[in-house]
Amino acid sequence: MAAEALLHVRVEGRRLVLDAAGGWVAARASEIEALVEGVFRKRPAVDAVEINLTHLERLDTVGAWLIERLRRAAGDAKLYPEIVGIDPRFKVLLDEVAISNKEPPHPHPRKGALIDFLEHVGIAVAEVGKDLSSIVQFTGEVVVASGRVLLAPMRLRFTSIVHHLDRVGFRAVPIIVLINFLIGAILAQQGIFHFRRFGAETFVVDMVGILVLREVGVLIVSIMLAGRSGSAYTAELGSMKMREEMDALRVMGFDPVEVLILPRLIALIVALPLLTIVGSLAALVGGGLVSWVYGGFPPEVFLDRLREAVTLDTIKVGMIKAPFMAAVIGLVACVEGLRVEGSAESLGEHTTNSVVKSIFLVIVLDGFFAVFFAAIGV
């Protein structure tokens, strides 16, 4: 349907007659809007406006609104608009749009880019403060709940702990073994490649052993669990909160922290050290294998060197960090889960925050431990 005229404009004496014709429907809205806007662009030399709808064939809300806009434009120009020839089937719709949009819709609030930027920075800084206070507050709640459980151990949800242990611990074993094996292998390969220049290949064993047992093993496992289990905790708790499941627990007289969060935290605190042992062993196997195949010293030599290089302290330093890492990951994941609000977007945002923050805090914590152990000379 090409150029059938939608709006005839003609002047009859001191009257402007606007003849709407054809289909005033959404599909042709841009054409109609241009015509409507064109009519009063320069003030016509008339005293009155007549809008004639006799030839209108079809009308929908968009079309009806554009007729109303035409009428209002004429009214604003003090041209006493009059609509004639209204088909009864269009009347209700025209009456309906006549009472809408009395005030223009408010524009989107727009500030300058600089103000926006400063506002964001301010909000972010305030968020950091809120984060800290909510983590502290939440830790308090967890301690109180643990205290209650310690006084009445029957309240501990053993089944739930085992269930979560299976999810975050046992089922994570394959991926943890694989990743740590690869990391151990890469460390050994790089070590051999660079130490060879000084003829110090055998020190690769010292490096791999100490690095894996003190730092890398626990860090890799923590980061994996933050991504794998922390995110799951946040998403679960968040969607439970969205569906008012937490409120349901509370009104039945249960404490959500005790029922939902404590088992998850305990499971994580038990699972992470265990996975660290498994992961570190896998990394040492990876390192050993590369030393054998690529570096050319057999497993007996590797084990001998390892026994000399690594003391029990090295292992203790690595292992002692594991439960703290687990606690940080668990606390951050649960806090973020409890802060989820109504929308799906909020759930996604808090899940992302959970992973990013827990990985960040794990690394910061590791730094503090490094400083601490250096100070006490271990």
Residues that bind other proteins (CB under 8 A): 25-27, 29-30, 33, 60-62, 65-66, 69, 88-93, 96-97, 99-101, 103, 105-106, 341-346
Which stretches of the chain are assigned E, i.e. beta strand?
A: 7-12, 15-24, 48-59, 81-84
**Which single residue is written with the structure tokens 């899940």?**
351
Which CB atom, from 67 or from 331, has the smaller least distance to other proteins?
67
Which CB atom, from 25 or from 319, has the smaller least distance to other proteins?
25
Which CB atom, from 97 or from 142, has the smaller least distance to other proteins?
97
Residue 183 CA, distance from chain mean position: 28
Which CB atom, from 29 or from 309, has the smaller least distance to other proteins?
29
* Closest approach of other proteins to the CB of residue 341, in Å: 6
* Closest approach of other proteins to the CB of residue 33, in Å: 6
Tell me the HSE value of 119 on the side-chain side, using a 13 A CA sphere.
7
Which CB atom, from 69 or from 228, has the smaller least distance to other proteins?
69
* Closest approach of other proteins to the CB of residue 6, in Å: 15
* Closest approach of other proteins to the CB of residue 185, in Å: 43
Which CB atom, from 62 or from 200, has the smaller least distance to other proteins?
62
* Closest approach of other proteins to the CB of residue 235, in Å: 15
| Dihedral angle of Cα 73, 74, 78, 79, to the nearest 10 degrees | 170
> Do residues 258 and 358 lie in contact, with contact meaning Cβ atoms separated by under 8 Å?
no
3-state secondary structure 78-105: CCCEEEECCCHHHHHHHHHHHCCCCCCC
* Closest approach of other proteins to the CB of residue 73, in Å: 13
Alpha-carbon distances, residue 131 vs 71, 156, 318, 357, 372 (angstroms): 55, 28, 28, 10, 25
